[in-house]
Amino acid sequence: MREPLILRMLSALDARTRLGVAGFLAVALLLVPVLHLALPADSAFHVSTYAITLLGKIMCYAIVAVAMDLIWGYGGILSLGHGIFFALGGYAFGMYLMRQIGRDGSYQSDLPDFMVFLDWKELPWYWTGSDSFLWVALLVVLVPALVAFVFGYFAFRSRIKGVYFSIITQALTYAAMLLFFRNETGFGGNNGFTDFKRVLGYTITSSETRLVLFGLTATVLAFTFMFARWLVASKYGRVLTAIRDAESRVMFIGYDPLWFKLFIWTLSAVLCGIAGALYVPQVGIINPSEMSVANSIEIAIWVAVGGRGTLIGPIVGAFVVNLAKSWFTVSFPEYWLFFLGLLFIVVTLMLPQGLVGLWKTLRGTQGAKA
């Protein structure tokens, strides 16, 4: 009898990593809810609703960062347009949230407010079934997967790689952003989807709902990390790494890189779509700006800062960069982009292995002294 996947995933982790994952889940699923619900708001140990929303958002970004590391760190495929898959997952789940508003909107109509404002008389055909949670959950996975598979198949079959592939992904994301900005597409134009009321019948702004979304996001992040560690340690992961390092040699010994690259590319897109679906109910909005080229470049920066090809590094990078962003955009909003650019340059020139690589170097130095 074959061993269950979860056990194989756990066996791919060393004892220290398993302990770290367990500690992370204990904090996210037990400690944070207690500190939020049981302690008064004026307590020094109280975790505020703002903090829960911020950390939940960053964990969604961390899932995207791991997805990027799978294709860039292990597959050698640099995408500068991964924001499209994140946004597609967000829009798919946003459709469900918009339908859950019902007649509680400003116009008290069964149609979303933006459709009433634009004088739409009925829902477009592609909104069919959007009031079903299960159908929308399927769309969250299938839509990014389909877009990624079709794009990736033609790109990888044509052996487009390197900077040319990166530029094409930028163009794809930019074209999608312009499309979603149009009111005629039925996705809310430049305002996108917002003013959500409920999810699965529960008030979306209640503390309990936010904690459930926070805990679910933490669980998905932990599962994504463990699955990615298992995948890159498997035979498939070793072949993928070999394709990254010497694609021609892998072809000469009988492997077809197309399907290896296409699988990891599509899987990465699916993970981004799931992250986008978790992001929308916590942040409360999804609009075409999520598809901007700048956002997609930021994803690559998270991975570079943390350390690509490490899986834990991108998670660290996502937290470090986005916590810094939250502070900078409040204290020094006009300097954030300068800081981000400087950070990327410093990491590229002085820390090519990122923060995780720096940590390993410092530990090695201390070990040698001891």
With a threshold of 0.85, does the pTM exceed it? yes
Q: Are 260 and 71 in contact (CB under 8 A)?
A: no
Cα torsion angle, 221, 225, 226, 230, sign = positive
Q: What is the C-alpha to C-alpha distance for residues 53 and 24, in angstroms, rounded to an integer?
A: 17
pLDDT per position as a tens digit, 204-235: 999 999 999 999 999 999 999 999 999 999 99
Domain limits of the chain? 5-369
DSSP states of 143-200: HHHHHHHHHHHHHHHTT--HHHHHHHHHHHHHHHHHHHHSGGGSS-GGG-EE---EET
Q: Are 209 and 33 in contact (CB under 8 A)?
A: no
| pLDDT beneath 70, residues of the chain | 1, 364-370
Q: What is the structure's pLDDT at 365?
A: 66
Residue type, 11: S
Q: What is the structure's pLDDT at 350?
A: 81
Q: What percent of the chain has pLDDT over 90?
A: 69
Greatest alpha-carbon span in the chain: 75
H or E element in which residue 329 lies: helix 312-331
Q: What is the structure's pLDDT at 150?
A: 97
> In terms of Cα–Cα distance, which of 217, 261, 208 is closest to 237?
261
